[in-house]
Chain A
Amino acid sequence: MRDLAHIRLSTFYLLPLTFYLLISCQPTPDDGPKNTPKAGSSDASQTTTTLHYFTWSDYVGPELIAAFEKAAGVKVVVDTFSSNEELLAKLQSGAIGYDVVVPSDFMVSIMIKQGLLAELDLTKIPNVSMLAEQLRRLPFDPEHRYSVPYLWGTVGIGYDSAVIPTPPDSWAVLWEPRYKGKISMLNDQREVFGAALRVMGQSLNAKDPMLIEQAKAKLVSQKPLVKTYTSDNYDQLLASGEVVLAHGWGGPVARAMAVRPSIKYVIPKEGSTIWADCLVVLKTSRNKDLAMRFINYLLDREVAARTTNRLLFASSNREAKALVDEKVRANPAVYPPDSALNRLEWIADVGEAIRLYDRAWTELKMR
Chain B
Amino acid sequence: MSPSDPSTTLSDHSPISRRPTWLLLPPLAWLGAFFFVPLLLVLAISFATRGTYGGVEWTFSFANYVTMLDPLYLKIYLRSLALAVATTALCLLLGFPLAYYIARAPARWQGIWLLLVIIPFWTNFLVRTYAWMFILRTEGLMNTLLMGMGLIEHPIEILYSDTAVLIGLVYGYLPFMVLPLYAAVERLDRSVVEAAWDLYAPAWAVFRRVIWPLTKPGVIAGCILVFIPSLGAFITPDLLGGARTMMVGNLIQHEYLVARDWPFGSAISFVLMGLVLLGMLVYLKVERARQGDETVSWAGGDRQ
Contacts and interface: CB of A to CB of B under 8 A. Distances in A.
User: Are A and B direct contacts in the complex by CB distance below 8 Å?
Assistant: yes
B55 A366 contact: no
A110 B259 CA distance: 13
Contacts of A88: 54, 260
B204 interface: no
Contacts of B239: 230, 233
A366 B246 contact: yes
Interface string B127-160: 0001001000111000000000000000001001
A187 B243 contact: yes
A349 B260 CA distance: 12
A366 B137 contact: no
Interface string B238-262: 1100111110001100111111110
B260 A114 contact: no
Interface in A332-367: 349, 351-352, 354-355, 358, 361-363, 365-366
Contacts of B256: 85, 89
Given A11-B115, A92-B54, A187-B238, A358 B259 contact: yes
A365 B243 contact: yes
B257 A354 contact: no
Contacts of A355: 259
A89 B72 contact: no
Contact of A365 (B157, B245, B255, B257): B245
B123 to A, nearest CB: 13
A85 B257 contact: yes
B75 interface: yes
Interface stretch (A164-172, A220-228, A298-306): A220-228
Q: What DSSP secondary structure best describes chain A's contact surface? A: helix
B97 to A, nearest CB: 22
Contacts of A63: none
Given A226-B244, A228-B244, A233-B130, A366 B76 contact: yes
Name, among B133, B157, B243, the residue most crowded by chain A CB atoms within 10 Å (CB to CB). Answer: B243
A351 B260 contact: no
A83 B245 contact: no
Contact of B260 (A85, A189, A227): A85
Contacts of B75: 366
Contacts of B115: 11-12, 15
A227 B251 CA distance: 21
Contacts of A83: 257
Contacts, number: 89
Contacts of B260: 85, 88-89
A89 B115 CA distance: 37
Given A11-B111, A11-B115, A242-B138, A189 B258 contact: yes
B244 A363 contact: no
A4 B157 CA distance: 48
A229 interface: yes
A226 B245 CA distance: 12
B189 to A, nearest CB: 14
A97 interface: no
Interface string B95-119: 0000000000001101100010000
Contacts of A228: 160, 242-244
B52 interface: yes
Contact of B108 (A4, A89, A358): A4
Contacts of B137: 240, 242
A11 B256 CA distance: 41
A85 B245 contact: no
B53 interface: yes
13 contacts: A4-B107, A85-B256, A85-B260, A88-B260, A189-B258, A226-B242, A229-B238, A229-B244, A230-B242, A240-B137, A352-B52, A362-B254, A365-B243
Given A227-B242, A355-B259, 19 more contacts: A4-B107, A7-B111, A85-B256, A88-B260, A110-B53, A110-B54, A228-B242, A233-B130, A233-B239, A236-B133, A240-B137, A242-B137, A351-B52, A358-B255, A362-B251, A362-B254, A363-B72, A365-B250, A366-B76
**6 cross-chain pairs, A with B, having the tightest CB-CB distances, nearest first:** A228-B242, A229-B243, A8-B111, A85-B257, A358-B259, A365-B246
